[in-house]
Amino acid sequence: MEFRISTLSERKEFYDREFSVAKVKAWFRKNNLQLPQLCAVDAGSESGIILDKKNKNTMLYFKFSELQKKIRKYLPEDIYYDRNRYKNPDKILKTLEFNNLNNRVSEELVFDIDIDNLGLKGKNKLNDPNLKKLYEIALKMRKELLNMGFKKIGIVYSGRGFHVHVFDKKASLLSVKQRDELNKKLINYPIDPWVSRGYIRLIRMPYSLHGLVSRAVTPLNVNKGFEIKKMIPRFLKEK
């Protein structure tokens, strides 16, 4: 089934029928993570499909408790959560000074394996066979991270690839230098080093819609494999 941009009505349908804040909360609890302090949405900058043009090219930040309300307000193209824990998240939300390391307590370690990092050419590189190849790469990388001593590692289908989440508390306390060293050890994997280094704080919210490809961001059970049809939203299946 095609990967394409979702319309506003399709985004609304997805969030009305398929999205659940309760499922998001359960995912964080299951993986021994605190709920995010901050979230963000892109209302439609890349596609230009947006409710209010004044929000184009602007990342809109808010508290996790406002997630459902903000979804209804913006019908966003993409939803993210901030992997950082802050001493004073209210101050960060007010000033948007995210790079003040004195206010940061920790940052969840996540590796971003994306189709664009495979070095493939052509506009049709995003397809089911290539995603299956990427999934095998993500599994291999997960195994290598386990061999490095990390204990709890999850894989989330992101829409254009996979996010490898390391849930160990010690991983969230790694310095930028230590994260750089990890990136070097994993240099043969098609990762975006800016994400795992920590310079990019935002990561896609589990169970949200990737509005540029019309796929649900889905946590995976590594014992059951990757079934792309389960990530296809109803508004595509029912056409």
pLDDT tens for 158-178 read 999 999 999 999 999 999 999
Q: Are 173 and 82 in contact (CB under 8 A)?
A: no
Summarize the confidence of residues 64-88 as an average pLDDT: 98
Q: How far apart are the first and last CA of the chain?
A: 11
Question: Quick one: tokens of 127?
Answer: 């397809």
Q: For residue 59, give the nearest of 69, 70, 90, 68 by alpha carbon.
A: 70
Beta bridge partners of 226: none
Q: For residue 135, give the nearest of 180, 190, 197 by alpha carbon.
A: 190
Q: Is it the case that residue 122 has pLDDT exceeding 90?
A: no
Summarize the confidence of residues 197-220 as an average pLDDT: 97
pLDDT band at 75 (very low <50, low <70, confident <90, very high): very high
Q: What is the pLDDT of residue 217?
A: 99
Q: What angle do CA 179, 208, 218 make, to 5 degrees?
A: 70
Q: Lowest-pLDDT range, 13-27, 31-45, 216-230?
A: 216-230
CA distances from 143 to 87, 137, 140, 146, 206 (A): 33, 10, 5, 5, 22
Q: What is the pLDDT of residue 178?
A: 97
pLDDT band at 100 (very low <50, low <70, confident <90, very high): confident
Summarize the confidence of residues 181-198 as an average pLDDT: 96
Q: What is the pLDDT of residue 60?
A: 98
Q: What is the pLDDT of residue 180?
A: 97
Question: Quick one: tokens of 197?
Answer: 């280094």
Question: Quick one: tokens of 22?
Answer: 């309760």
Strand ranges inside 57-201, DSSP E: 59-63, 78-82, 84-86, 104-107, 109-114, 153-157, 161-166
Q: What is the pLDDT of residue 215?
A: 98
Angstrom distance (rounded) from CA 163 to CA 28: 15
pTM given for the model = 0.95
Q: What percent of the chain has pLDDT over 70?
A: 100
Handedness of CA 186, 231, 85, 143 (dihedral sign): negative
Q: Is it the case that residue 63 has pLDDT exceeding 80?
A: yes
Three-state secondary-structure class, residue 185 = helix
User: 8-237 belongs to which CATH class?
Assistant: alpha beta
Handedness of CA 122, 203, 93, 61 (dihedral sign): positive
Q: Are 38 and 62 in contact (CB under 8 A)?
A: yes
Domain positions in the chain are 8-237
E strand or H helix that includes residue 163? strand 161-166
